[in-house]
Structure 1
Amino acid sequence: MKKLVSVLLAAGLVASMTACGGGDKKESAAAPAETTAAAAETTKADEKETEKVTEAVTEAAKDLADAGEISVLYYTYGDTYISSVRSALDAALDKAGIKYQDYDSNNSQTTQTEQVSTAIAKGTSLLVVNLVDSGSDDAAKNIIELAKAQSIPVIFFNRSVSEEVVSAYDKAVFVGTDYEMAGHMQGEMIGEYLVENYDTVDLNGDGQISYVMFKGQEGNAEAIARTQFGQEDADKVLEAAGKKPLAFYDASNTNKYLVDQGGLWSAAAATEYMQTILSQYSEANNNMVELVIANNDEMAIGSVTALQNAGYNKEGATVIPVFGVDATDAAKDAIAAGTMTGTIKQDAEGMANTIAQITANYLTSAETFEGVDAANVVGTWRVNIPYAMYTGEE
């Protein structure tokens, strides 16, 4: 019988088969003998099949336990979304009985590459890598070369790695998102909100919405796409409704974004930027920023902090709409409180469970994407975890 690679899935099969295998095993006193005999044979068959599945579960669990420790490398523990992935992945690996060691690369590619070498020297069975430097292929190529030399599988996740790099090694995959989609969805959500609330948002009544864009990191594919499409797609919705396109608050800034120079997509960076902006751009000066677009929820929350310090986004006060990406717990709370307007859900638990499933597949020599939703699989190299809009109304 084909080996079951997902211990959790197989265990679920055992439970369901036990529950429905023979129905109520008590026989009616009036039941014909042949009916009773047939029911008994069915029950025996079900019990034998349950035993087979149980053996397969035990075998798969033993394979995972004997596979040795895997290594999970995070670009930083300090990122709120990544922390949620880490918590979910730790739980999924624990539940599957997979031994693992987590590493904090502290936003240093040099540190992460050294950690990879250390993990390989310790005999790691598999590498799960949240790449630090996604601005070029060099870091990912280097990790692939180190792993390939020892025939160690690699699962990159969250921070983009090119198809060329991943496909060059038959034991490598990428688990992430269609990052352009986050920008498109955010832009659509912003545009629709503005059309419905235009006069309220247009504080100075000039017929155009002034905005600030917080970009997480230069060279990062996700940040680039969100920065572009969050604004462009909002403009498309506005123009279709006969409204003017968005206007970046600072006409002298040709980039039309502010970047976290530390590359951490941090709340602190957004708070600092926003406080500086509000010292010059205000309702009193008739040039107030009327919309905040952030590439992630941390920067969105940081901007909310600065706005609240200036008297906005509080109960009974004027609310400047703020949009982010990730749907972190803090962002959901802010949306529920009315201090933040919307976000795009990036499914941390879905990403973690997919990584855990592929890990189990590699460790038990199953098909790479067995147990993964086929609708999310791209070719032979990638899985995209779907996004969803979140405004607190779901």
Structure 2
Amino acid sequence: MKKLLALLLALVMVVALVACGSNGNETEAPTDASQPASDATENNDNTDNSDTPVGTDLKVAVFYYTYSDTYISSVRTALDAQLDALGVTYQDFDSNGNQTTQNEAIQTAIADGYNLLIVNMVTSGSSDTAKGIMELAGDVPVIFFNRAVDEDGVEASASVLNAYENIAFVGTDAPEAGHLQGKMIGEYVLEHYDELDLNGDGKISYAMFKGDEANVEAIYRTQYGVEDANAVLTAAGKPELVYFDANNTSGYQVDLNGQWSAAAALDYMNTNLSQYNEGNNNMIELIICNNDNMAEGCISALESAGYNNGTGKTIPVFGVDATDSAKELIANGKMTGTVKQDAEGMAAAIAQIAKAVGEGTALKDAVAATAESNTEMYSVAEGVATKLYVAYAPYTA
């Protein structure tokens, strides 16, 4: 009997050891309140155009300034698809427009073993914020994207991107969108001048909607969207555009929450139209927006006032991003033009750099290789070897 009991006890101990061993090899990805754990994805189906899956040692944490931004949402969809194709574990985080939330999520991801960070900073154009993130990251490489990591006017030698070895940036050449938009507007106004001049005063009055007071992209779009349009007009002997409200010395209305939102533009435009309209003989005759979200808000206000319904009178509205909804508005004759900010191109560049990092390539070399892979779409910034630009393009049809 004692031998039998001893044998049974030994068997119980073996089973217990096997059971314990089966629970020690899996870790869940970090999550936040807005992102379920199921969004941390490991997928090896390679349905995209990647040659081979990246090794499973690469764990990628992607931080978005907010999911609610239409353009950023497009980047997220495209980047998720690219990372799925690479077969790596990744996790998306929504910072909800809060830099503290983003920093805390970065700390969590580092603690949980994520070894590549892809960051869309909340506080755009802040070298202090970027440096803080780099200090949190330590030796973990960081790919910033879309939102500038330096203040406007910072020399290349002083850039955050030149201060660290394990850093890169994928974005756009900030002035380019403003230049393209301004040229597009100037040429359109010149071609349609008489029909746009609703009050017959020989000038075209415009409204300008700025997405964020401190954002470098917003600053240049606001500046060059008007300056370059005026250059086209004055070269042809026409007067410059006139801001509709002479009391507003800034020459724009800004989303005070920095969200570039349709709601902010809608509220502004409804108020504007209550005072500036054809009945008062001072109708706003042109609308320029820093992005397509704000353009959509303006169009909604115009539709409510009887304009931009696809037939009848249409006030020209210009934006930036070439979102799907903006393209549809243009196709339906409700919006005039936009500047394409290539979400798919940006996502593809980020994924290509991430793949190279996973294979042991230095970020500087990964950026150079990505630029060389498509010289029409990508270029490296002068003096900053880890800064990759994605080209803009005009879109009117």
Q: Could you tell me the TM-score, scaled by structure 2's length?
A: 0.82
What displacement does 1:179 show?
Answer: 1.3
**Paired position in structure 1 for 2:146:** 158
The question of 1:101 aligning with 2:91 is answered yes
Deviations 1:81-119 (A, max 9, x none): 000000000000001112100000000011111111111
List alignment gaps of at least 5 residues for structure 1. 1-5, 12-56
Match of 1:222 among 217, 223, 244: 217
Deviations 1:34-84 (A, max 9, x none): xxxxxxxxxxxxxxxxxxxxxxx4xxx3xx232242100000000000000
Match of 2:324 among 322, 329, 353: 329
* Contact 1:231 1:246 (8 Å CA) reproduced: yes
Cα RMSD for the two superposed structures: 1.5
**Paired position in structure 2 for 1:302:** 297
Q: Report 1:73-222 matches (<5 A).
A: 73-147=63-137, 149=138, 151-162=139-150, 163=156, 164-222=159-217
Match of 2:57 among 64, 67, 81: 67
Which SS does the other structure have where 1:190 is aligned? helix
CA distance in 2, matches of 1:230, 1:321: 14
Change (3 A) 1:95 1:9: closer
Q: Which amino acid counterpart does residue 236 of structure 1 have in structure 2? A: A
**Paired position in structure 2 for 1:377:** 380
Change (3 A) 1:152 1:316: same
**Paired position in structure 1 for 2:271:** 276
Deviations 1:151-175 (A, max 9, x none): 1000000001135112211110100
Deviations 1:210-263 (A, max 9, x none): 000000001100000000000000000010111110100000101000000111
The question of 1:256 aligning with 2:265 is answered no
Q: Which amino acid counterpart does residue 385 of structure 1 have in structure 2? A: V
* Contact 1:274 1:306 (8 Å CA) reproduced: yes
Stretch moving more, 295-304 or 368-377: 368-377
* Contact 1:361 1:369 (8 Å CA) reproduced: no
Change (3 A) 1:312 1:9: closer
Q: Report 1:18-57 matches (<5 A).
A: 57=52
* Contact 2:210 2:289 (8 Å CA) reproduced: yes
CA distance in 1, matches of 2:368, 2:393: 24
What displacement does 1:10 show?
Answer: 6.6
* Contact 1:358 1:370 (8 Å CA) reproduced: no
What displacement does 1:145 show?
Answer: 1.1
Report the identity percentage.
Answer: 56
* Contact 1:345 1:390 (8 Å CA) reproduced: yes
Change (3 A) 1:280 1:132: same
* Contact 2:143 2:169 (8 Å CA) reproduced: yes
CA distance in 1, matches of 2:222, 2:266: 18
Q: Could you tell me the TM-score, scaled by structure 1's length?
A: 0.83
**Paired position in structure 2 for 1:391:** 396
What displacement does 1:334 show?
Answer: 0.2
**Paired position in structure 2 for 1:314:** 309
Q: Which amino acid counterpart does residue 144 of structure 1 have in structure 2? A: M
The aligned length equals 335
CA distance in 1, matches of 2:239, 2:105: 51
**Paired position in structure 2 for 1:34:** none
Which SS does the other structure have where 2:61 is aligned? strand
CA distance in 1, matches of 2:253, 2:324: 24
CA distance in 1, matches of 2:201, 2:48: 58
* Contact 1:202 1:290 (8 Å CA) reproduced: yes
* Contact 2:340 2:393 (8 Å CA) reproduced: yes
What displacement does 1:363 show?
Answer: 1.2
Stretch moving more, 66-75 or 286-295: 66-75
**Paired position in structure 2 for 1:232:** 227
CA distance in 2, matches of 1:233, 1:333: 26
* Contact 1:156 1:174 (8 Å CA) reproduced: yes
What displacement does 1:286 show?
Answer: 0.6
CA distance in 2, matches of 1:281, 1:256: 15
* Contact 1:65 1:99 (8 Å CA) reproduced: no
What displacement does 1:315 show?
Answer: 3.1
Which SS does the other structure have where 1:373 is aligned? helix
Change (3 A) 1:303 1:7: closer
Q: Which amino acid counterpart does residue 199 of structure 1 have in structure 2? A: D
What displacement does 1:368 show?
Answer: 1.9
* Contact 1:77 1:83 (8 Å CA) reproduced: yes
